[in-house]
Chain A
Amino acid sequence: MKKLIIAAAVVFAGLQAGTARAAEDTDPPARDWSFSGVFGQYDRAAMQRGLQVYREVCAGCHSLRLIAFRNLEALGYGEDEIEAIAAEYTVVDGPDDEGEMFERPGLPADRFPSPFANPKAAAAANNGAVPPDLSLMIKARDGGADYVHALLTGYVDPPDGVELLDVQSYNLYFPGHLTAMAPPLSEDAVAYGDGTPATVERMASDVVSFLAWTAEPAMEERKRMGIKVILFLLVFTGVLYAVKRKVWAGLH
């Protein structure tokens, strides 16, 4: 047993890497998400509200380039609703038969258009800091959903002695604390269609629920399949053990 423990230590020692490295900054508080845990699934109402927050608040600066409107089916929208959402966007298509690019209303197969034409334009409009794409944000940061939620709600006045430039804000959870992103959420920044009060806390957790899905859209299918696969393998392994015992029983 001792040897097993040591072997396991060798294998998994690397896992501590993440925690050790984040230690300098304030760790984001762990939250209980509907999608955490073995049986956790996405909360569709929260995702729909999160989509609204993204569209009305984040989308001014942040692209969501890996997500197509057709993907919104996973949020519980029907075909008509998706077509309506897509049609609210203008996408550039072409070239047409005259060789010109042209604009048309979005279709379900289109992806969310980016707020800026290219990274240089994004940098020029944002004092040199390119707002990152949000499609994979939850998977692309240590701390994941907890971190992004903490970041969105972690704006405070700078401690004494910390001088901020005009374009900087002080955030408890951002590495180094000085971020070029101004506090994006304020009370009632959006008006939720379902009447949910739009507190900063609520909007932050809604948009994180939405972004958790954009980062890992196959999670629900993955977990459902995983439970079946593991149950099958446990039984199969049990049978194989019995067969093994049976075969070896003849050996004396």
Chain B
Amino acid sequence: MADTANPGAGPGHSGDGETRRDFLYLTAAAMGVVGTAAVAWPIIDSMNPAADVRALASIVVDLSPVEEGMAITVIWRGNPVFVRHRTAAEIETARGVALDDLPDPETDEARVQKPQWLVMVGICTHLGCIPKGQRVGEEKGEYDGWFCPCHGSHYDTSGRIRKGPAPRNLDVPPYEFLDDTTIEIG
């Protein structure tokens, strides 16, 4: 009975038996790992957005009431989307910047579909606060665009990061113009 305490070395039969035994142990262990992983996935995936949440992924926005120089904020997937009707001066300023001056180089043309309409997700790319500058009279930062009060990121009139800790320009969501003054976001 002495060897029962160390059963791994217990029944030391011939080489053939040992190979068969090792194969069995490996198969069992491998199937155990596969089975556990297969069980883990539904549990993890259940925490991802559910079908009803995913179904609300697109919204239609009527832009006709938004006059030049005004902005509206709409909710898309629970987050604010900034839609700004830019003035000619703002567009000009945005297009006059040299790419070398930008921490995240991107032309203004690449960020809009129609120059006067700037559409972007209103969430600071630093740590997720909502930048100021949408409403009349709010602090707009050193570049006359948006300013994030949490950690002092300054965005220009194209929503590009110019100064402060944010690593990227404000994100542009997928959207398309259904007609001249209607967009579908998402």
Residues of A within 8 A of B (CB): 68, 70, 108-109, 232-233, 235-236, 239-240, 242-243, 246-247, 249-251
Contact = CB atoms under 8 A, between A and B. Distances in A.
Contacts of A235: 31
B33 to A, nearest CB: 11
A239 B4 contact: no
Contacts, number: 35
Contacts of B38: 232
Interface stretch (B19-27, B109-117, B136-144, B159-167): B19-27
A81 B47 CA distance: 30
User: What does DSSP make chain B's interface, helix, strand, loop or mixed?
Assistant: helix
Interface string B18-61: 00010011011001100100100000000000011001100000
Given A247-B7, A250-B10, 13 more contacts: A68-B55, A70-B51, A109-B56, A232-B31, A236-B35, A239-B24, A239-B27, A239-B28, A239-B31, A240-B28, A243-B24, A250-B3, A250-B11
A108 B55 contact: yes
Contacts of B10: 250
Nearest to B27: A239
Contact of B24 (A109, A242, A251): A242
Contacts of B4: 251
Nearest to A109: B55
User: What does DSSP make chain A's interface, helix, strand, loop or mixed?
Assistant: helix
Question: Which bracket fits the contact residues of B?
Answer: 10 to 19
Nearest to B32: A236
A233 B52 CA distance: 33
B31 A109 contact: no
Nearest to B56: A109
The 8 closest A-B CB pairs, nearest first, are: A250-B11, A250-B10, A109-B55, A236-B31, A239-B28, A243-B28, A70-B55, A243-B24
Contact of A232 (B7, B27, B35, B56): B35
A58 B55 CA distance: 26
A249 B52 CA distance: 55
A240 B32 CA distance: 10
Contacts of A233: 35
A222 to B, nearest CB: 12
Contacts of A251: 4
27 contacts: A68-B52, A70-B51, A70-B55, A109-B52, A109-B55, A109-B56, A232-B35, A232-B38, A233-B35, A235-B31, A236-B28, A236-B31, A236-B32, A239-B24, A239-B27, A239-B28, A239-B31, A240-B28, A243-B24, A243-B28, A246-B21, A246-B24, A247-B7, A249-B11, A250-B7, A250-B10, A250-B11
Interface in B109-151: none
Contacts of B28: 236, 239-240, 243
A251 B3 CA distance: 10
Nearest to B17: A246
Contacts of A232: 31, 35, 38
B178 to A, nearest CB: 14
A68 B51 CA distance: 11
B36 to A, nearest CB: 11
A51 B56 CA distance: 24
Interface in B62-118: none
Nearest to A233: B35
A98 to B, nearest CB: 12
Contacts of B21: 246
